Amino acid sequence: MLTHQHLIPLTDQKASIDFARELDQNDPLNKFRDRFYIPKDQYGNDLIYFCGNSLGLQPKTTKSYIDQELHDWANLGVEGHFEATNPWMPYHEYLTSTMAKIVGAKNSEVVVMNSLTVNLHLMMVSFYRPTSTRYKILIEGDAFPSDDYAVSSQLHNHNISRKDGLIKWKARPGEDLPRMEDLEAILKKEGDQIALIMIGAVNYYTGQFFDLKKITQLGHQYGCKVGFDCAHGAGNVSLNLHDSGADFAVWCSYKYLNSGPGSLAGCFVHERHTNDPTLKRFAGWWGHNKETRFNMRHEFDPIPSAEGWQLSNPPILSMAAIKASLSIFDKAGIDQITKKATQLSGYLSNLIKNMNNDRISIITPEDADQRGCQVSIKVENADKSLHEQLTAAGVITDWREPDVIRAAPVSLYNTFEEVFMMVEKLKAIISDKS
């Protein structure tokens, strides 16, 4: 099998479909592909679906998990909260243990609730507390737009202009990836004015996986709170959120966690904060003490865990879809999943580099510790027609302007043979265009 080492040149023998099939035969996760619906073309052939970084595929058990709750709703009505096969009152708790393993946290630090950006705003209510001297927010230069919009609106809510309050950690001119030494320089210069560092754990565009622990240590050294958007990390890389020391993190569940379009999100709050009564927060009744939640006369008494940030009772049908996917993660194991993610991306990167085409480069880091399964392929002087031709050839990736194809072969349902075939199809398209 491929290892976690830096990329090595492939021999002609290894750059073959037989080698790819050998990798699949030795893959301990190869049996899990059969647990998912694979999209097909008009002739009934499986498409090569490398878009799990945008929307994960549907587990075949999802329908039965949702049907169970529809059945109990139909037959029990409100009593389903206590009498359903999976009682609805504590339903979110069924997801906690596996989700905590996936993100590397304690059960008390994790809760599934709301959507990602709602959770981000809730976290910033608690962890972005600007003062007259410490009020700035630092994000990466090419943050996902929703993160940029969210932090900008928080600044505006505190009457701080974007120009004065937002700092961007950017890549150097002519480079694609921001450098840690440049973050250190920013903090050395402005750290005493920065209230919050909020970074995408895995950058959506480049696929770069940042060193969460080092960023947190740097931020805390200068008195900043530190949080991460793990939308492109959860289920893809080893986040180790508790050990990172981050104050908070948020993530969605519809990408690598396969919970369906627009499904619920996750939230992490480090245990040092979960029982801090001095923290400001926007409160809702589902974050209130479970023992007195239905005695409607009590003042808010937050649950001393990440659950204390909940607002409303959970949407069961969406959680049922998450439960279906997490049952697969339980069986596969997050360590095996994250290991294969770097093997798939390493193999894809090797094949792309061995095309020896000067127009094509990879902007995702070569170092396996700085990436998951996503490979961002930059094609000089290309436009979206290249991506459209790849789609027509049966390869589902996505296009990011101005010239990048994002391909994410996912551990649970993609194969090394598909990686090989994707590159062969790309070669043919590039050759025809030439």
Reported as a single tens digit per residue, the pLDDT across 106-157 is 999 999 999 999 999 999 999 999 999 999 999 999 999 999 999 999 999 9
Given a contact cutoff of 8 angstroms between Cβ atoms, the answer to whether 376 and 363 are in contact is yes
Quote the pLDDT of residue 6. Answer: 39
Q: Which amino acid is at 162?
A: R
With tokens 């021999």, the residue in question is 11
DSSP string computed for 318-379: HHHHHHHHHHHHHHH-HHHHHHHHHHHHHHHHHHHHTT--TTEEE-S-SSGGG--S-EEEEE
Which domains occur in the chain, in start order? 17-60+334-433 (3.90.1150.10), 90-329 (3.40.640.10)
- Provide the CB-side half-sphere exposure for 333 (13 A, CA): 6
Q: pTM for the complete prediction?
A: 0.95
Q: 110: helix, coil or strand?
A: strand
Q: Which amino acid is at 335?
A: D
Give percent helix, percent strand, percent coil of the chain, each to the nearest 5. 45, 15, 40
pLDDT confidence band for 3 (50 / 70 / 90):
very low
Q: 400: helix, coil or strand?
A: strand
What element of type H or E holds 269? strand 265-269
pLDDT confidence band for 12 (50 / 70 / 90):
low
What b-and-e string marks burial along 317-350, b requiring 16 or more CB atoms within 10 Å of the CB? ebbbbbbbbbbbbeebebebbbbbbbbbbbbbbb
